[in-house]
Amino acid sequence: MIIENQLERTNHDHLGKAITYASVLDAACVIWVATQFSEEHVKALDWLNDHTVDEISFYGVQLELWQVDESRPALRFNVVSRPNEAVRMAAKAKGTDELSESKRLQLEFWIKYKEKLSGIRKGLANQTPRPQYWYDITLGRTNIHLSATYNTDNDTVGVRVYIRNQIADIMLPYLESKREVIETELGESLIWNPNPSNRDKVIQLLHTTDLSDQSKETEALNWLVEKTIKFRDVFAKHIAAFRTTGA
């Protein structure tokens, strides 16, 4: 998440900085806080929300100071621009008619997954559901994230730590050095680097089921949500320790 603060009227410089920071940090959410938003900058944020990928959201928040009679002044945060879910859902509905059966099942599963995960841990499921076999969750660091998976070809769901090649050479060995602790905290034996020839590295846990059976799909959904939360809690802690120690 990127928060750009501006205690004045919005300008192009701060908008450019917010977008630049978001690209460098691979942020999923940009919040621009200012005391006054120009009409053109509100339109710019609306345009970005309507024309960028669903995984990225832009918010414009106008800072106001309120006082009633002799009360102490209080801050009010007035949201002047946010993602238009109606536009995004309309685009999604239009695309659904053209999806294959497997893509349709993936989209429906991720909608249920996001709803359930958000009900248990607010703010964790920020990605918009899409017709694909993965759903990404941030881990607080660039080039590494969680990825929940739903594979209709082999009837598995899973959760994995996905490490991009930019940091794989240092992050994977670091996490492997914590393997015993991590698996104890999770209560699971994980699959470490199942595809060693790939430049991107993965640490994963899989669950085999029958995704064509509605009752088993519900069980798989519950399993995946539970493991996602556990993975997020355990791996985010160790990744934060890596960052602070400068390893």
Place of tokens 């109606």: 86
Other CB atoms within a 10 A radius of the CB of residue 54 amount to 17
The domain spans of the chain are 2-83, 92-245
pLDDT in tens, 142-167: 899 999 999 988 999 999 999 999 99
Mean pLDDT by runs of 10 across the 247 residues of the chain is 88 91 82 92 89 80 82 85 69 61 89 93 84 91 93 93 95 96 97 95 96 88 96 95 60
Residue 84: predicted pLDDT:
76
Question: Is CATH 3.30.1460 what the domain over 92-245 is classified as, yes or no?
Answer: yes
Residue 245: predicted pLDDT:
47
What is the CB-side half-sphere exposure of residue 90 using CA atoms within 13 A?
6
Q: Identity (one letter) of the amino acid at 159? A: V
Residue 90: predicted pLDDT:
55
Quote the CA–CA distance of 153 and 215 in Å, as a whole number.
Answer: 18
Element (H, E) at 178: none
* pTM (2 d.p.): 0.63
